[in-house]
Amino acid sequence: MFKKYFFLSAMLLTLLTMFFGCGKAKVPITMAGSTAFQPFAEKLADQYMQSHNNVTITVQGGGSAVGIQSANSGAAQIGMADLVTLPQEAKSLDAIVVAKDGIAVVVNPKNTVTNLTTDQVRDIFNGKITNWKELGGLDAPITVVSREAGSGTRSSFEQIIKDINLKRDALIQDSNGTIRETVANDANAVGYISHGLINEKVKALKIDGQESTAESITSGKYKLVRPIFLLVKGQPQGEIKNFIDYILSSEGQQTIKSNGLLPAK
Neighbours of 152 (CB within 10 A): 30
CB-based contacts of 227: which residues, under 8 Å, 6+ apart? 82, 83, 84, 97, 99, 100, 101, 264
- Crossing angle of helices 250-258 and 38-51, rounded to 10°: 140
pLDDT at 180 > cutoff 70: yes
Look at residues 135, 140, 131 and name the one whose alpha carbon lies nearest to residue 117.
135
Distance set, CA 179 to CA 32, 108, 154, 175 (Å): 20, 11, 12, 6
Global pTM? 0.77
What number of CA atoms fall less than 13 Å from residue 90's CA on the CB side? 25
The least confident of 56-60, 62-66, 105-109 is 62-66
The least confident of 12-21, 112-121, 135-144 is 12-21
Q: Which domains does the chain have, with CATH numbers?
A: 12-99+227-263 (3.40.190.10), 102-225 (3.40.190.10)
CB-based contacts of 249: which residues, under 8 Å, 6+ apart? none
Neighbours of 58 (CB within 10 A): 13
Mean pLDDT across 43-66: 95
How confident is the prediction for the chain on average, in pLDDT?
90
Rounded to an integer, what distance in angstroms lies between the CA atom of residue 13 and that of residue 209? Answer: 71
Rounded to an integer, what distance in angstroms lies between the CA atom of residue 179 and that of residue 1? Answer: 69
Query: In the chain, what percentage of residues exceed pLDDT 70?
Result: 91
pLDDT at 196 > cutoff 90: no
Rounded to an integer, what distance in angstroms lies between the CA atom of residue 39 and that of residue 106? Answer: 19
Pairing of strands 171-173, 262-263: unpaired
pLDDT at 14 > cutoff 90: no
For the chain, how many residues are written?
265
| pLDDT for position 18 | 42
| pLDDT for position 24 | 65
Mean pLDDT across 222-233: 95
| pLDDT for position 36 | 87
Query: In the chain, what percentage of residues exceed pLDDT 90?
Result: 79
| pLDDT for position 26 | 87
pLDDT at 206 > cutoff 90: yes
| pLDDT for position 217 | 87
Distance set, CA 72 to CA 45, 58, 87, 236, 248 (Å): 21, 17, 13, 14, 23
Rounded to an integer, what distance in angstroms lies between the CA atom of residue 180 and that of residue 167? Answer: 19
Identify the burial level of 220 via C-beta atoms within 10 angstroms of its C-beta, where 0-12 means exposed, 13-18 middle and 19 or more buried: exposed
CB-based contacts of 164: which residues, under 8 Å, 6+ apart? 122, 125, 126, 157, 158
pLDDT at 147 > cutoff 90: yes
| pLDDT for position 188 | 98
| pLDDT for position 218 | 83
